[in-house]
Structure 1
Amino acid sequence: MYIKTLTVTLVNSYVKKMIDNDIILNNLKIKGEVSNFKKHSSGHLYFSLKDDSSKINCVMFKDYASLLDINMEDGLMVEIKGKIKVYQKEGSYQLYCEEIKKQGVGELYLAFLKLKETLEKEGLFKLQHKKPLPLYPKKIGVITSPTGAAIKDVINVAKRRNPYIDIIIYPALVQGSGSSNNVIEGIEYLEKDKKVEVIIIARGGGSIEELWSFNDEALARRIYESKTPIVTGVGHETDYTIVDFVSDLRAPTPSAAAEIVFKSHSEIKKDIDNNYNKLQKSMEDNIFKKKNEINLFKNTIEFNSPITYILNEHKKIKVINDRLNISIKKKVSEEKNKLGYMMELLNSRNPLNILNKGYTLVKDESGNIVKDSKSLSGEQQVEIKFRDGSLKAKIEYK
């Protein structure tokens, strides 16, 4: 029998036609647990439906999704009505969902919730137990798969942001049997290096089964007990595992964890320059303030110094002296004027002034002024006062 050689496109087209014409595959009802659920910005829903041994990729377009009356989330047990279709370009098939009914919660998700509740009650998630990250770490440890995309993302971010930081990578299993113990060994190994200041645990996205290693209780408790701060970047932004709650900081992705931990060299330099400028301005402002305080103290001391006090008192004395001199001069002038007036008045009334007209003044022996001749007798001595002098005389005849 001759079989024609087919192209990939023809094979995928043939498989698509076979499935499209299958009655069962075009009218399915499937029961399983929702895993790796994501809602696209377009409104379409993407997730996996799994049971104990298999899974199938599912999509529900927004027209059907808008009619849902349940909240889709990982771990939810559902019954789905839909069709199996082939995506010919990729050669893959998936379930196109039309109706979804809630059946319960999956076993893995129930286990996740139970452990989360237990650790939360013990206080392992409390903020006061979170260790602060170093501002400028010099050496960083990374626990991840040596062959996965996560390590490439971390290294690329590290090179771009700060190539001067040392990185020590602990190659670990991040999926499957023994992976959680391997991550614990990585923590213990890196903690022995006292120069490692922070540890990143990284793993790319995946289903709840693929990320189950990070829901391990022993791993969660070891992260809690770690003396070195630990940052987790496990899965995608919507993926949450137990280690995310117990770690010191949860990043949505491995790249985001690296962005947080590896401080940008340019930003550090900028911070240093800004702090230098702030410090310089603060010092200048402080010096200016202290100078003003010194000048104020100096002025206060000078104002209250004995020399200033004495000089001020001298000024006051001079002012008082000047006022006193002015007052004395004024008083003397006033008294002189009064005296002159009194002298003029006295002179005008001085009986001796009549002597200038040729008159004389006669006094008896007792010095009394003789007003009439009756008071005199013969042989009596008298004094006759003239304008320019006086004479002694004796009365011979009366």
Structure 2
Amino acid sequence: MSGNPYLTVQAVTKYIKRKFDADPHLRNVYIKGELSNVKIHPTGHIYFTLKDDKSRIQAAMFRGNASSLKFKPESGMNVLITGDINIYESSGQYQLYVQSMEPDGIGALFLAFEQLKEQLGKEGLFDVRWKQQLPWIPKKVGVITAKSGAAFQDICSTIGRRFPMAEIVLFPAAVQGKQAVPSIVEAIGQADRQGDIDVLIVGRGGGSIEDLWAFNEEAVARAIFSCRIPTISAVGHETDTTIADFVADHRAPTPTAAAELAVPAKEELAGRILERKRVIYRFLATRLTQEQKRLDRLKNSYPFLYPDRLYRPFIEKQVSFEERLSRSHNELLYRKSTQFTQINSRLQLVSPAVQLQQRSKEAVAVEERLLRAMRQSLGGKQDRFLTGIRMLQALNPLSVMDRGFTIVYKEGELVKRAELLAPGDSVKINMQDGIAIAEIQSIESIKEES
């Protein structure tokens, strides 16, 4: 074969996409159907299936177009759609790219109104328990509306006529158009931060539903709910109803009615003051009469007529108590004194001073006995010592030498007999006054006579 007759899947898909791009009947197509499998991506894109009883088509609405929707698409909703049909190359499926979407059989704004009302109602923003009471006599009234609008003039004239003492503080805001929502939210926050506003009127004059739509936006509703100031919603005419009316603490049909609701009428205040003055006078007169009668009854009562009879029994009780107290005191004092005497006597017996005195006497007696024993022992020892001295003196060789005798030593040994010596021996002769060294020449034995 001269060439490859097979096409890639991508080539076929691109060919079909060019066919779709070239077909003018697939541009600005008007389609109606039921939404199914609606998925709103965090990026703002919306993906869903558009179906009828016989067929279905995948659809996508990108964030740029989806941001202009006044309602939230939900599965099961019948819609009217304008868009283009083209091929999604990655999957090879044809798809509807939505440019605009409207509810089928009901207005988009009305549907958006009902959806937001249901959502905020479920969150509890309309609950009565969150509604704040309006102050009876406000010092400062805040107004959020267009500075040049007739609504502000009506509010000023009404408050000036009914209660001129109140100060009006305007927080100007755009009340229609693209800048209306952030402008109103910022004005509510500014009034809340100021801290001295007693009541806040939020509203504008009449207009179409599109003109009033800023007061149906979620951001405005949440700003009113978060505001710490008691708020009155006054949007449009009496027949107009907005989300702000449900969230606000109070709703007025018109800005003028809101001003009448915010402040009391001076004539009504004067009437209330006079009425309360009369009530106070009547109350005081009645109370004074009652208290005077009560005072007279007290003056004529038994305690005030005979006061001494009231405290006489207490005096008698006091005297009785004093006598009992005195007796008890004396008895207690006697018992404690007796106990003290007994304890003191016992303490004397074991007193360290007494014990020391007794031990001192015993020590003196022992010392005397020791001295006597020592003298006796010393006398005996002295006698024995003198006897020993005399014996030693008698046995002392030196004493013998005093009588002319000598002592002979040979090689350090005492020579008691002549036979222990031999001629030529060297000996020491101890005499009374010295020692002589001698050599034995001869030995003569002395024979005993028979």
Compute the TM-score of the two structures, normalised by the length of structure 2.
0.44
Larger Rg: 2
Q: Which structure's residues are more often helix, by fraction?
A: 2
Q: Highest relative contact order (Cα 8 Å, sep 6+), 1 or 2? A: 1
